[in-house]
Amino acid sequence: MQQMSLGLTAGPAQAMPPRITREAPDEFGRWLACHLGRPVTVRLTCNRSTMLSTRLRGGCLTVRLHELFCEATASDLEALAGYLAGSDRESAAALDRFIHAHGQRLPVPRRKVQACGRQHDLQVIFDELNASFFHDACAARITWGHAGRRRYRRSIQLGVYRSQERLISIHPSLDQAFVPRFYVTWIVYHEMLHDVFGIAVSGRRRSMHPPEFGALEQTYPEYQRCKDWEHANLSRLLQYAPSRRRQA
C-alpha cells in the first residue's frame, strides 16, 4: 500500500487533472485538494473488494483508491472529483462505468476447493456429468461452499456459479445423509450449464438463464424426480445449520 498525506488547503485548481502515478501521485492529490477545497489524504491500495472509499475526519478527507485508477483518463478523474464533491449523478455514473470496465480485468485470487464431503464427493459427480453430458468441455472447478449459522431461513441458494473464477460452489446443506445422490447430481448439472453457456451481458444487464438454458435443463433424465424430491424436502434443507467441524 502506498500512502500520500497531503495536508493541502484550497487554492487555484488546474483546469485538467494530472494522471495518478505510483511514483509521483502527490500532483493529483494537490489537484483534488484544490478542487474540493479541503485537505486531502490519498491512499493507493490493492483491495479488490473496495475500489473507492472515503472518510472525513477533522476536516481532512481520506480517499482510498485502487491502483487501477492509475489507468484513469482525465475525464475519469474529473468524474471522481465530481463524485467526491457531492451529489453529481452524471459523475457517479461515469465513475461506476470506469470501475466496472477496469475491475473486470483484475486477477481473481484462486481459492482453495473442497470437493469431497461427508456424504457426497462433488468431483466424482462432476467428472461423471462432464463425460456423459458435456463431452468433457466443462472446465470449471467445484467445491462445497459455506453457510451461515442461522437455523431458519426463508430461501436457500443450493448452487452458485462464479464466472470470474469458473468455480461451482454447492451449498453444504446437500452434504447430508438424507439428501440422495441423484438430487446433488442435478444441482451440479445445473451449475455446469452456466459454465458451458456462459453469461450473456447486455450493457450492465446479465442473463444467467436464457430460454435455451431452461429447455436443456428440463431434458435432464431425472429432472421431474429431482423437482418432486425438492418439493417434498425443501423445508428440511431450509433448517440446515452447519456443525463446528465444517466451519473449521
Q: Are residues 134 and 236 in the same domain?
A: yes
Q: Are residues 134 and 193 in the same domain?
A: yes
Q: Are residues 231 and 140 in the same domain?
A: yes
The answer to whether position 117 is within a domain reads no
What is the total residue count of the chain?
Answer: 248
For the record, the C-alpha cell of 225 comes out as 424426480
In this predicted structure, what is the pLDDT of residue 9?
Answer: 41
In this predicted structure, what is the pLDDT of residue 15?
Answer: 74
Q: Are residues 235 and 130 in the same domain?
A: yes
As a three-state string, the secondary structure of the chain is CEEEEECCCCCCCCCCCCCCCCCCCHHHHHHHHHHHCCCEEEEEECCCCCCEEEEEECCEEEEEEEHHHHHCCHHHHHHHHHHHHCCCHHHHHHHHHHHHHHHCCCCCCCCCCCCECCCCEHHHHHHHHHHHHCCCCCCCEEEECCCCCCCCCCCCCCEEEECCCCEEEECHHHCCCCCCHHHHHHHHHHHHHHHHHCCEEECCEEECCCHHHHHHHCCCCCHHHHHHHHHHHHHHHHCCCCCHHHHC
Domain with 140, as residue range(s), is 122-247
The answer to whether position 112 is within a domain reads no
The answer to whether position 110 is within a domain reads no
Residue-wise pLDDT tens digits, 139-184: 999 999 988 766 667 889 999 998 878 899 999 999 999 999 999 9
Q: How confident is the model at residue 120 (pLDDT cuts 50, 70, 90)?
A: very high
Residue-wise pLDDT tens digits, 1-39: 444 333 334 444 557 888 888 776 677 888 888 888 888
The answer to whether position 178 is within a domain reads yes
In this predicted structure, what is the pLDDT of residue 3?
Answer: 40
Task: Give the lowest-confidence range in 64-73, 78-87, 192-201.
Answer: 192-201
The answer to whether position 115 is within a domain reads no
Across 43-62, average pLDDT: 84
> Alpha carbon of 231 to those of 71, 128, 162, 209, 217: distances in Å?
51, 26, 26, 21, 17
Backbone angles phi, psi at 129, to 5 degrees: -65, -40
* Burial readout 44-56 (b: 16 or more C-beta within 10 A, e: otherwise): bbeeeeebbeeee
Residue-wise pLDDT tens digits, 230-240: 999 999 999 89
Q: What is the CATH number of the domain that holds 238?
A: 3.30.2010.10
Q: Are residues 131 and 88 in the same domain?
A: no
Higher pLDDT, 145 or 50: 145
**Cα diameter, the chain:** 72
Task: Domain count for the chain, please give it.
Answer: 2
**Best CA proximity match to 85, nearest among 9, 21, 27, 33:** 33
Q: Are residues 128 and 221 in the same domain?
A: yes
Q: Are residues 91 and 127 in the same domain?
A: no
